[in-house]
Amino acid sequence: MAETMASSPAETRITDHIALLKPRVMSLVVFSGACGMLAAPGHINPILGAVALFALALGAGAAGAINMWYDRDIDAVMTRTQNRPIPAGLVKSSEALAFGIVLSIIAVMLMALAGGEVAAGILAFANIFYSLVYTVWLKRRTPQNIVIGGAAGAFPPMIGWAAVTGGIDLSSITLFALIFFWTPPHFWALALFSCADYKKANVPMLPVVVGHERTKRQMLIYTMILFPLGVAPYYLGVAGVGYLITAGVLGFLFIVSALRVMQEREGTRAARQMFGFSVFYLFAIFAALVVDGNYVHLF
């Protein structure tokens, strides 16, 4: 006799709270943070390194929960986000806010213990910047929201680097800049094929405000700026020739994808492909940094 297996209420609530943490975004944050840690000169105790990465994951998830709390009204309007836990009625908004705040505090405290004061300070600043500057202030007020607000997502490799070295230097700032300039073309590609959603929710993403053609030109400009930043770690002595070649090829392909988006007159196929490639680009370039880094080490 077949039996129907159903999730218990407790399991469902855990799943809903995990969804608040934006696991896919968290995975990219942890990955880039771990790469910053592995590429940094020096060593960190493996247990402390694991705790620091856990704290980074908690911090990223906490910021995601606070973002979902504040954006619950527009999430309910947009097709892409209407099934998130709060608009779907699975988690109370006040509960999500409390969840995010508590996790943020725990994350910063853990980072201070495992990665030191500098890493903890950067994490705290990144969370405040994402939650207040981007989510509350910029996102609904300016088409430059993702340009300025994207800084929050660029801090993870700098945090990982600081957890090992105890400080900030030109190399870690370059890793920050790499993600900072990667963010606009990545999100604008998404905005091109989700433009109707953003317009419906009255979110001033660049394609909504200035149109697709100007957005596409901006995307090309940012991918061109990204190219020298991508190869910079080689010239700073952080990575070897293998990284230089990989970063050069990836940067060239990113520019090509932006050119294809510019040439597309109907539909959003090229924009969707560029969005997918942009995710691959970031994973691949940071993986190459670790594999061919001059400072590669086991914890």
* pLDDT string in tens for the chain (299-residue length): 333 444 556 556 788 889 999 988 889 999 999 999 999 998 899 999 999 999 999 999 999 999 999 999 999 999 888 999 999 999 999 999 999 999 999 999 999 999 999 999 999 999 999 999 999 999 999 999 989 888 999 999 999 999 999 999 999 999 999 999 999 999 999 999 999 889 988 999 999 999 999 999 999 999 999 999 999 999 999 999 999 999 999 999 999 999 999 999 887 999 999 999 999 999 999 999 999 876 554 44
CATH fold group of domain 14-291? Farnesyl Diphosphate Synthase (1.10.600)
Ramachandran quadrant class, 43 (left: phi over 0; alpha: psi -120 to 50; beta: rest): beta
DSSP string, 29-87: HHHHHHHHHHHSSS---HHHHHHHHHHHHHHHHHHHHHHHHHTHHHHHH-TTTTTSTTT
All structural domains of the chain with their residue ranges? 14-291
